[in-house]
C-alpha cells in the first residue's frame, strides 16, 4: 500500500518543488525563533523559550530536507537557459555551511529545551548560547537563500531590475 505522499504529492511535486517550498522554513524559522527567544529572555518566560526552541528544531529539520532535495533541484534547473553552473555551485557550497550551523542550532535548541523543562540553573546561559547560534545560523541560511535566488532571478546578479534596464534616459 502506497503512502499519501506517494499518491498525492509525488505526482505533482518533484525535488525542485519541494526544495523551493521548504527552503523558506530555515530562513524564517531561525529569524522568528530568535525574535521569540529574545522576547522570552526579556520577559523571563520559560514557556516562550520552549516555543522558540521548537521553532529552531523545526528549522533544523527543514534545513536538512532543503539540503537533501538540493541535488534534485539542481538537476531540474541546470539545463534551463540562463542558469549558470557557477551560481549553482556557489549556492551549493554555502548551503553546506548553513546546514551545519542549523544542525548545531537544532542540537543546542534541544539541549535548551531539556534544560528549560527540567528547570536547570543553566537555562539562561543555554538560552543566550542558542540565541547567538540562531543569529549566526540565520545569517548563513539567509545568504544561502540569496545565492539560491540568483540561480533564477538574474536581476539579483546585476543589481538592476528588468524594468530599470528597459528605461530610456532623456539627455537634453
Q: What is the pLDDT of residue 57?
A: 97
Q: What is the pLDDT of residue 168?
A: 47
Give the chain's residues under pLDDT 50.
1, 160-172
> In whole angstroms, what is the distance from residue 116 CA to residue 127 CA?
9
Q: What is the pLDDT of residue 93?
A: 79
Contact between 150 and 91 (Cβ < 8 Å): yes
What are the pLDDT digits (tens) for 113-137? 999 999 999 999 999 999 999 999 9
What are the pLDDT digits (tens) for 103-113? 999 999 999 99
Q: In what helix (H) or strand (E) does residue 75 lie, and over which residues does it extend?
A: helix 46-77
Q: What is the pLDDT of residue 91?
A: 73
> In whole angstroms, what is the distance from residue 38 CA to residue 159 CA?
34
Compute, in degrees rounded to 10, the torsion defined by CA atoms 94, 97, 99, 101: -140
Contact between 102 and 58 (Cβ < 8 Å): no
Amino acid at each position: 500500500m502506497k503512502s499519501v505522499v506517494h499518491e498525492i504529492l509525488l505526482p505533482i511535486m518533484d525535488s525542485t518543488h519541494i526544495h523551493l517550498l521548504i527552503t523558506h522554513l530555515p530562513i524564517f524559522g531561525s529569524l522568528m525563533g530568535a525574535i521569540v527567544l529574545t522576547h522570552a529572555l526579556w520577559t523571563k518566560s520559560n514557556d516562550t523559550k520552549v516555543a522558540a526552541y521548537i521553532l529552531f528544531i523545526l528549522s533544523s529539520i527543514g534545513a536538512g530536507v532543503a539540503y537533501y532535495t538540493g541535488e534534485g533541484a539542481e538537476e531540474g534547473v541546470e539545463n534551463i537557459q540562463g542558469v549558470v553552473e557557477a551560481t549553482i555551485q556557489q549556492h551549493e557550497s554555502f548551503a553546506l555551511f548553513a546546514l551545519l550551523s542549523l544542525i548545531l542550532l537544532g542540537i543546542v535548541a534541544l539541549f535548551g529545551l531539556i534544560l528549560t523543562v527540567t528547570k536547570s540553573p543553566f537555562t539562561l546561559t543555554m538560552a543566550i548560547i542558542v540565541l547567538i547560534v540562531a543569529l549566526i545560523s540565520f545569517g548563513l541560511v539567509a545568504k544561502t537563500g540569496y545565492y539560491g535566488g540568483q540561480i533564477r532571478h538574474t536581476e539579483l546578479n546585476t543589481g538592476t531590475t528588468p524594468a530599470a534596464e528597459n528605461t530610456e534616459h532623456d539627455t537634453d
